[in-house]
């Protein structure tokens, strides 16, 4: 049997002993972000630097999606949101858009088994009905197939933009006001959030952008109000689990203040260290202490 071993390619994305050690260290050192959003940028430049077509860069990025999804699940991240295609990306050359759509289908087919077996629930945000019919069919098929899973919610932002979502929310809210279901005085942060396509997701704790640009490019505009932002020069096709660990290490060194002073935050941490949400912890401590 051993002589056949060389015929089987080892899976390079499996959790190694080193991974387990790093993941345990990260969980022991600080908080693992509950929701991580990633702006997967730089596929085109990655390819062009290598004399390849932009499409080859998009193709190469699929391996990063696989590795990061696995690592996120192993780390206990509960929500991973990947910005895969923006509303503005429709304006790219038709051939590139078509290739991105076919790669999306390929990825859904290839990752289905793994998602089903590993507790990954697929979700999507964005204007799904703008996607080609066959993409919609595969996407919603995969979402249905994984709907009972609860270890990691993997949300693909497709034909998505933060402004699109906010405009859509405002239209729906206006309709509900016209129907008398909501009155203008009821509108607050919570109500606005409930109309967004991200209503069921907590706000992202950490937003990672690959390939160096210092902008959000219309990603999770409402939800990112207090997200920590981490930008790396590494292009998406080169971004792997070790880069995710670096981002989380950096996140764990930040002091999230949510508009309060550093002292208030420290006090809150001492009083109720066990409460599950960081902001909740601060707000509770302040209302108790004052």
Summarize as ranges the residues that interact with ligand IPE (CB under 6 A): 39-45, 83-86, 89, 100, 211, 213, 215, 217
Q: Which is nearer to ligand IPE, 89 or 252 (CB)?
A: 89
Least separation in angstroms between CB 86 and ligand IPE: 4
Is 41 a known active-site residue?
yes
Q: CA-to-CA distance for 273 and 265, rounded, in angstroms?
A: 11
**Could you tell which of ligand IPE, Mg ion, none binds residue 215, using a CB distance below 5 to 8 A set by kind?**
ligand IPE
Q: What residue 251 binds from ligand IPE, Mg ion, none (CB within 5 to 8 A, per partner kind)?
A: none
**Catalytic position from the list 19, 41, 138, 165:** 41
| 89: partner contacted, choices Mg ion, ligand IPE, none (Cβ within 5-8 A by kind) | ligand IPE
- Choose the catalytic residue: 11, 25, 89, 238: 89
**SS3 sequence, 5-33?**
HHHCCCCCCCCCHHHHHHHHHHHHHCCCC
Q: Which is nearer to Mg ion, 32 or 100 (CB)?
A: 100
Q: Which two tokens stand for residue 212?
A: 């160096």
Q: How far is the CB of 60 from ligand IPE (least distance, A)?
A: 11
Nearer to ligand IPE, 85 or 251 (CB): 85
Catalytic residue check, 189:
no
Based on CB atoms, which residue is closest to ligand IPE, 23 or 197? 197
Q: In whole angstroms, give the CA distance from residue 158 to residue 258.
A: 29
Which of Mg ion, ligand IPE, none interacts with 168 (beta carbon under 5 to 8 A by kind)?
A: none
CB of 238 to ligand IPE, least distance (A): 12
In the bound complex, what is the minimum distance in angstroms from residue 221's beta carbon to ligand IPE? 13
Kindly state the smallest distance separating residue 41's Cβ from Mg ion, in Å: 4
DSSP string over 203-234 = PPSEEEE-SS--S-TTSSTTTTTT-EEEE-SS
At 78, which helix (H) or strand (E)?
Answer: none
Interhelix angle 241-253/17-29, rounded to 10 degrees, is: 10
Q: Which does 83 bind (CB under 5 to 8 A by kind): Mg ion, ligand IPE, none?
A: ligand IPE
Rounded distance, CA 46 to CA 234, Å? 9
Binding site for Mg ion (CB under 5 A): 41
Can you tell me the distance from the alpha carbon of 284 to that of 274, in angstroms, rounded to the nearest whole number?
12
Least separation in angstroms between residue 146's CB and ligand IPE is 22
Close Cβ partners of 259 (under 8 Å, ≥ 6 residues apart): none
Residue with smaller CB distance to ligand IPE, 30 or 212:
212
Among 44, 79, 86, residue whose Cα is nearest residue 61: 44
Q: Which is nearer to ligand IPE, 77 or 100 (CB)?
A: 100
Report which residue's Cβ sits closest to ligand IPE: 44
Residue 102 interacting entry, from ligand IPE, Mg ion, none, C-beta within 5 to 8 Å by type: none
Rounded Cα distance between 74 and 20, Å, is 8
H or E stretch covering 98: helix 94-117
Q: Could you give the CA distance from residue 215 to residue 285 in angstroms, rounded to a whole number?
A: 34
Residues with a catalytic annotation lie at 41, 89
């Amino acid at each position: 049997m051993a002589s056949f071993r060389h015929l089987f390619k080892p899976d390079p994305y499996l959790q190694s002993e080193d991974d387990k050690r790093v993941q345990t260290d990260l969980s022991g050192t600080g908080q693992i972000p509950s929701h991580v959003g990633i702006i997967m940028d730089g596929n085109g430049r990655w390819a062009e630097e290598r004399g390849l077509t932009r499409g080859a860069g998009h193709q190469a990025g699929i391996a990063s999606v696989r590795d990061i999804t696995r690592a996120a699940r192993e780390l206990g991240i509960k929500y991973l949101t990947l910005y895969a295609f923006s509303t503005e990306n429709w304006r790219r050359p038709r051939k590139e858009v078509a290739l991105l759509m076919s790669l999306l289908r390929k990825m859904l087919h290839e990752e289905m088994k793994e998602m089903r077996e590993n507790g990954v629930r697929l979700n999507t945000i964005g204007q799904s009905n703008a996607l080609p019919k066959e993409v919609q069919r595969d996407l919603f098929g995969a979402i249905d197939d994984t709907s009972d899973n609860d270890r990691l919610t993997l949300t693909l932002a497709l034909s998505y933009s933060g402004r699109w979502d906010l405009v859509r929310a405002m239209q729906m809210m206006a309709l509900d006001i016209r129907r008398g279901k909501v009155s203008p005085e009821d509108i607050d942060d919570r109500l606005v959030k409930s109309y967004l396509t991200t209503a069921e997701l907590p706000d992202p704790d950490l937003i990672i952008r690959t390939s160096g640009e210092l902008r959000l490019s219309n990603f999770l505009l409402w939800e990112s109000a207090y997200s920590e932002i981490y930008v790396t020069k590494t292009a998406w096709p080169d971004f792997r689990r070790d880069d995710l660990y670096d981002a989380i290490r950096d996140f764990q060194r930040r002091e999230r203040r949510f508009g309060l002073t550093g002292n208030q935050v420290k006090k809150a941490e001492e009083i109720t260290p066990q409460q599950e949400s960081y902001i909740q912890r601060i707000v509770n401590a302040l209302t108790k202490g004052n």
